Amino acid sequence: MTSTPGQKPSEPSPLGQTRPWPQPSKAGKASFSIPGKDQIAETAYKIWGSLDSGKIPLIILHGGPGIPPQYLQTISLVSIDYGIPVVLYDQLGCGDSTHLPERLHDDTFWTPQLFMDELDNLKNVLGIKEFYLFGHSWGGMLAAEYAVAQSKGLQKLIVADSITSMDRWIKVITDLRSRLPEDVQETLRKGEEEGRTDTPEYEAAVMVFYKRHLCRIDPFPEELMASMGALEEDNTVYVSMYGTSEVAVTGCLKYWTIEKRLHEITPETVPGGILLLNGYYDEAQDEAMEGFFRLPTARVKWVQFAQSSHMPQLEETEKYIKVLAAGALWCLVTVGHYLSLLWVFVKPSGIRRYLKTRDGKPAWALITGGSGGIGKQLAHELATIGFNVVLHGRSQQKLDVVKADLARSHPNRQFRTIIIDASEAFDAGATCGSWLASLQDINLTVLINNAGGATDATIASLEQLKTEKLITDISVNSVFPTLLIRQAIPLLNQSPAGLILNIGSLADLGIPLGGSYPAAKAYLSKLTEMLSREARIAGHNIEVLCVKVGQVWGTGQTVTEAQDFFSPDASTMAKAVIRRVGCGRSIVVGHWKHTLQFEVMRLFPSFLLDSILIRIVTGWDMDKENKKTKGE
């Protein structure tokens, strides 16, 4: 994200607030014993909603430092619209909390740790165990410090209109000041050089900056004016920590940075990830914010408000509330996702339900691509469980070898073979009906579409590949299974329950240089979802499942020549596929190692995922070229 706003008269002002914020459900003060100071203070707080509702509350840290949070009260609308409890409090030294004017310029007192201790104390007083933490401007800096400290109970971090270091902030402010009218720049410069930042001329010049980059609503909303008025009455914290004005940084935070510690914000410490918010005209420009996006290892989402500056909660209120609530609710969705994912690997396989038949005779499974690799191992697994197996392939010789091996290992099971060349999908589709008709004498309860994979492990761009290969990969991985399923559904419906199991691929993420194979596998995933819904509409008792696999060793289709940690062998992969049956999803990644790969890739934003996939595939290509050169 980049933005270089230079406000023009023709640019529309933001809509602002369209409705009043609600009155708090509760207000009070929490006693706070200041660590190491032998002093008792009070923290004033307000609560919207109920902390006993069972929902995770949103705790709000206001900016400044030392600017009371009237300007953030619009955020309480999330409690009305989405039922999320909201806690908003006045940090020490401002608002209705204890004021300490005698601590002016006391750099040893006004530290981020002081305010972290205050937050911990308030949580304990209110009995809050789990929470979302929102920080605006200075509050975002404080929230980041709190997250880096890996405080227990933090579920999601929301950083709004904030910075990762004062160096970046000063650079951004200097750049924005340089775009102000020359006379305004001169007034600011003169006032700071002479130490006269309290003159009407200087304050008027600062207001020009504020109207561009603090809040674009004119006149300023009442809530913002109330906060700014309170700052004028007591600016102890602001002057001590920040400086004399928004455009002059002289306080004890002048050299603050958190950039070297942001990597400590991880998926484990902040399971719901990070939500970043800022405005296009914000004084917290993207350059000041981007470290929050780049440096943590936790998942990050960034939303920018096109018509806002530093106060999007006042400038584009309705949109802001929706984004904020979605971010909080996304945390619940994320946690639920990983809990359900864990259940997928804990839940026992449901494959045995397909052993039941109406006439009590043995159940049969049809496996395409059964002459080797995963298909062969799936046949062994199903025979062990109790299924008879029909093996499909295009080489009778290979199928005979596999059939003989199965017969030796499972003498109490029956095995058949069928020859069809899936690469000639339309011809194969025309004959599917006839050879499926030959199976009318058996109870077919399971169909596994395993035939597929790339016809070879060629790494090349689309225009470099022959038409024959492109069509073959589409035929084998998309057209053939579609036509086969169409013909097999009536047979599967003759049993109490049926299973259509499609072997998918992680390549459907969009692996480049894979020809038509990744797209063909993506089609198979979508076909699975469609058929699963159609089965429900038609009332068919058929489970439709796509199990995605990554690289599998021993199939002859790996692009690397050495087995690695993420490449299970075909037997292990077949066992994992069978275990996923009945998992409750229509699409699932089969092996836990491949799941780990997939879930890590899901965490990356699209532009990073693009770069990662490109580097992986070009690395494969380089390995092949190096080996080819050495061989020559």
- Give the catalytic positions in this structure: 137, 282, 310
Tell the burial category of 275 from Cβ atoms under 10 Å away from its Cβ (0-12, 13-18, 19+). Answer: buried
- CB neighbour list of residue 550: distance below 8 Å, 6 or more residues apart: 505, 506, 566, 567, 589, 591, 593, 594, 597, 598
CB 404 within 8 A of CB 422: no
Residue 301: both structure tokens together: 């989402």
Specify the DSSP class assigned to residue 306.
T
Question: What secondary structure letter does DSSP report for 210?
Answer: H
Handedness of CA 452, 455, 461, 462 (dihedral sign): negative
- 534 Cβ neighbours under 8 A, 6+ residues apart: 540
Strand ranges of the sheet holding 58-61, from the earlier edge strand across to the other edge: 26-34, 39-48, 86-89, 58-61, 131-136, 154-160, 274-279, 300-305
Hey, what are 357's tokens? 């038949």
The DSSP code sequence of 256-285 is -B-GGGGGG--TTTSTT-EEEEEETT-SS-
Tally of CB atoms within 10 A around 546: 28
Residue among 35, 11, 187 nearest 121 (CA) = 35
Q: Are strands 86-89 and 39-48 parallel, antiparallel or unpaired?
A: antiparallel
Give the span between the Cα atoms of 434 and 428, in whole angstroms: 10
Output the six-digit token pair for 500: 């259509």
Amino acid at 382: L
310, two tokens: 């530093």
Size (the chain), residues: 632
Element (H, E) at 139: helix 138-148
Contact 63, 311 (CB under 8 A): no
Helix axes 592-603, 317-346, angle to 10 degrees: 170
Q: Which helix (H) or strand (E) holds 519?
A: helix 517-538
- The strand pairing partners of 275, in sequence order, are 158, 301
Query: Mutual orientation of helices 112-126 and 138-148 as an angle, nearest 10°?
Result: 80
